[in-house]
Amino acid sequence: MKTGRTWFLKILTVAAALSLHSCDAASNAPETTVLQGATLFDGTGSAPVENSVIIIEDEQITCAGDSDTCSPPADADIMDVSGQYITPGLIDAHVHFFQTGFFDSRPDAMDISDTYPFAEVAAYQKKNPERYYDAYLCSGITGVYDVGGFTWSLDFQDAAERHPFAPHVAASGPLITPDPRDDFNLPTDKTLVRLDSEQTGISTVQYLSELDATGIKLWQIPYEDETYMSHIDALAEEAENRGNALIAHATELTQAKAAIEAGTRLLVHSVSDTDVDEEFLDMADANDVIYTPTLIVSSGYMLAYRAAAGVEAYEINDPNNCVDGKTRELMETADRFHDHSQMTDSFLSRLEAFDPDEDRLSSTELSNLMAVYEAGIPIAVGTDAGNPGTLHGISIYEEMEAMQEAGIPPEDLIVMATRNGAKAMEREDEFGTLEEGKLANLILLEDDPSQNIANMRSIEQVMMKGTMKSVDAITAD
Ligand SMILES: [Zn+2]
């Protein structure tokens, strides 16, 4: 009996193998794709390769370089992309899936919950991440790091990986904070966990780590509060034991230093209150900290307020039509809230005095970015997308352009927007550069991004895990 059963199973296995084989033969699709002729920026920072060859098998790159290094197999499907430019897919290292780009998801900034109950907004965001997946890919973004949200944002990590065409997602889940506010907590789920004891910190780290949180997010570091800092020490120890890393919102220099001292490896914002000093730069360097400047998010609030007040419509700079209809409608109808109680005369005069060109960027943030850059600290590109006035997807262009305005050379910005973002997501072994063994996540551009980072806007196609789509074919509705 035993022998007979084994024999029967063998026949089944052979039959299955044959049918798989014949299925492949019937589809007649070559398994190897070759992109040939473009100028390649591989994301490592090495010199661009002209007339490059990238060989892709299924999801993976098997060779990327010049034609001497990489020779395409005879049966490959060869795409002539000469005259174009290729970089790895972009990474936005700072986003929030629970936030919509308007005030409906930020009742603390302007409460419009009579029109949009926050609980309903949060539920919608949980159920409908696909429109943002499309907006990201359409903008060339193949990876995002959600650095603070409801616990459900952690589910997107796996869901996006299983999705046929979505960016990679890393997520930290709820933020750990001294802030007693409850504005964006729900009775059933939280975005903010108040760190009121060592045990709260330890339990939160245990829970989020078991749910595969990529980092543990600290929001504000009250370094003068010894009790609070002892709670942070306890949770930091638990995070370290679990192989998880701290990430932090710490926009004051003293807070940023305290965050690094507590073990933070990713600063998700600029230091913006004062100039960074040698001590900070040395600490960041010694602790392998990644710095994410988020230069445009603060003034994004002003632009959204100005739209809500009816001072000036919010301008959506979106030639590739990547922004979804719901977001577009929210922004285009913002002035419905022009008589909101927040629009006092003094607030209105502040909004009117704001100059979208002159006041868009903070000079302290710009000079700190250059100090961090010159000290050789790794920098990642992050937008804080989802905050009012900072839209998912397209905001990455403006953020990169602001970093260029600070003085970062565009060829270095390519590395910051790709490899360093993957490093922030702790997935640099899998993607972020175009090298043998990495996933084939890349973008094709019409214009040279090393001449001007604004040329990232000339994106024509995006490849995610070996699947290529024209950005025109990605509709974010
Ligand atoms: Zn944020």
Q: Which of 451, 440, 381 is nearest to 89 (CA)?
A: 440
Query: What distance in angstroms lies between residue 96's CA and the mean position of ligand 1's atoms?
Result: 6
Query: What distance in angstroms lies between residue 94's CA and the mean position of ligand 1's atoms?
Result: 6
Query: What distance in angstroms lies between residue 231's CA and the mean position of ligand 1's atoms?
Result: 23
| Range with lowest mean pLDDT among 6-10, 141-145, 213-217, 299-303 | 6-10
Are 158 and 140 a contacting pair, CB within 8 Å? no
* Burial degree of 448 (CB within 10 A; 0-12, 13-18, 19+): middle
96 confidence band (pLDDT: 50, 70, 90): very high
Average pLDDT over residues 39-65: 97
What's the pLDDT score for residue 475? Answer: 75
Average predicted confidence (pLDDT) for the chain? 93
Query: What distance in angstroms lies between residue 344's CA and the mean position of ligand 1's atoms?
Result: 27
Separation between Cα atoms, residue 276 and residue 265, nearest integer Å: 17
Query: What distance in angstroms lies between residue 176's CA and the mean position of ligand 1's atoms?
Result: 13
Query: What distance in angstroms lies between residue 249's CA and the mean position of ligand 1's atoms?
Result: 8
Query: What distance in angstroms lies between residue 48's CA and the mean position of ligand 1's atoms?
Result: 33
What's the pLDDT score for residue 29? Answer: 53
What's the pLDDT score for residue 476? Answer: 64
At 277, list the tokens: 């000093």
Q: What is the pLDDT of residues 316-363, one digit of tens each?
A: 999 999 999 999 999 999 999 999 999 999 999 999 999 999 999 999
Query: What distance in angstroms lies between residue 152's CA and the mean position of ligand 1's atoms?
Result: 16
| Phi and psi, residue 277, nearest 5° | -120, 180
Average pLDDT over residues 142-163: 98
| Range with lowest mean pLDDT among 181-185, 257-261, 343-347 | 181-185
Query: What distance in angstroms lies between residue 266's CA and the mean position of ligand 1's atoms?
Result: 12
Half-sphere exposure of 49 (CA within 13 A, CB side): 26
Query: What distance in angstroms lies between residue 466's CA and the mean position of ligand 1's atoms?
Result: 30
Query: What distance in angstroms lies between residue 148's CA and the mean position of ligand 1's atoms?
Result: 7
Residue type, 210: E
Report helix, strand or coil for 382: coil
Query: What distance in angstroms lies between residue 385's CA and the mean position of ligand 1's atoms?
Result: 7
Query: What distance in angstroms lies between residue 95's CA and the mean position of ligand 1's atoms?
Result: 6
Query: What distance in angstroms lies between residue 14's CA and the mean position of ligand 1's atoms?
Result: 53
What's the pLDDT score for residue 381? Answer: 98
Query: What distance in angstroms lies between residue 37's CA and the mean position of ligand 1's atoms?
Result: 39
What's the pLDDT score for residue 182? Answer: 82
Neighbours of ion ligand 1 (CB under 5 A): 384
Average pLDDT over residues 127-149: 98
What's the pLDDT score for residue 427? Answer: 98
- 14 has pLDDT over 50: no
Query: What distance in angstroms lies between residue 12's CA and the mean position of ligand 1's atoms?
Result: 54
Query: What distance in angstroms lies between residue 223's CA and the mean position of ligand 1's atoms?
Result: 20
Share of the chain above pLDDT 70, in %: 93
Separation between Cα atoms, residue 56 and residue 53, nearest integer Å: 10
168 confidence band (pLDDT: 50, 70, 90): very high
Query: What distance in angstroms lies between residue 147's CA and the mean position of ligand 1's atoms?
Result: 6
Query: What distance in angstroms lies between residue 264's CA and the mean position of ligand 1's atoms?
Result: 16
106 confidence band (pLDDT: 50, 70, 90): very high
Query: What distance in angstroms lies between residue 251's CA and the mean position of ligand 1's atoms?
Result: 11
CA dihedral 9, 12, 13, 18 (to 10 degrees): 160
Query: What distance in angstroms lies between residue 115's CA and the mean position of ligand 1's atoms?
Result: 24
Query: What distance in angstroms lies between residue 400's CA and the mean position of ligand 1's atoms?
Result: 17
Query: What distance in angstroms lies between residue 145's CA and the mean position of ligand 1's atoms?
Result: 10
Query: What distance in angstroms lies between residue 299's CA and the mean position of ligand 1's atoms?
Result: 14
Query: What distance in angstroms lies between residue 253's CA and the mean position of ligand 1's atoms?
Result: 18
Any idea which fold 32-88+431-469 has?
A: Urease, subunit C; domain 1 (2.30.40)
What's the pLDDT score for residue 36? Answer: 97
- 13 has pLDDT over 60: no
Residue at token pair 């760190």: 195
Domain covering 90-300+353-428: architecture: Alpha-Beta Barrel (3.20)
Structural domain spans, the chain? 32-88+431-469, 90-300+353-428
The contacts of residue 40 (CB under 8 Å, 6+ apart) are 48, 49, 52, 54, 64, 65, 85, 86, 434
Half-sphere exposure of 477 (CA within 13 A, CB side): 3
Query: What distance in angstroms lies between residue 91's CA and the mean position of ligand 1's atoms?
Result: 15
- 371 has pLDDT over 80: yes
Query: What distance in angstroms lies between residue 356's CA and the mean position of ligand 1's atoms?
Result: 21
Q: What is the pLDDT of residues 309-329, one digit of tens each?
A: 999 999 999 999 999 999 999
8 confidence band (pLDDT: 50, 70, 90): very low
End-to-end CA distance of the chain: 59
What's the pLDDT score for residue 191? Answer: 95
- 188 has pLDDT over 60: yes
What's the pLDDT score for residue 417? Answer: 98
* Burial degree of 227 (CB within 10 A; 0-12, 13-18, 19+): exposed
